[in-house]
Amino acid sequence: MSDRGFLFLFSLLMIFGGIAAAVWLVVSGQAATVDGLFLALTALLFSLGFALYLKFLIRSANEKPAPPKSATASRA
């Protein structure tokens, strides 16, 4: 597997893991405390960071590569 494929899957895992942790804190009632609230916000912020990286990764993968410079064009 290429490094981009691994980073894509790892980012998806981290996004879903952070969202699942935040949902679990809300469902279990632990988010009602100050510590739980900050833990849920941290998990969501962590997921947002990986989501932004995933957006950048997808955008860079969709870009067309620049055409190589011709040797005759550089001499002129």
Give, for all 76 residues of the chain, the pLDDT tens digit.
Answer: 788 889 999 999 999 999 999 999 999 999 999 999 999 999 999 999 999 999 998 898 888 777 777 766 556 5
Q: Has residue 42 been placed in a domain? A: yes
4 Cβ contact list (under 8 Å, min separation 6): 57, 61
The range of the structural domain enclosing residue 25 comes to 18-61
Q: Has residue 33 been placed in a domain? A: yes
DSSP string computed for 36-49:
HHHHHHHHHHHHHH
Q: Identify whether the C-beta of residue 57 lies closer than 8 Å to the C-beta of residue 7.
A: yes
Answering whether pTM is above 0.95, one says: no
Q: Has residue 48 been placed in a domain? A: yes
Place of tokens 């993968």: 61
Q: Has residue 73 been placed in a domain? A: no
Distance CA 30, CA 49 (A): 23
Distance CA 20, CA 27 (A): 10
Q: Has residue 50 been placed in a domain? A: yes
Go through the chain and tell me how many residues it has. Answer: 76
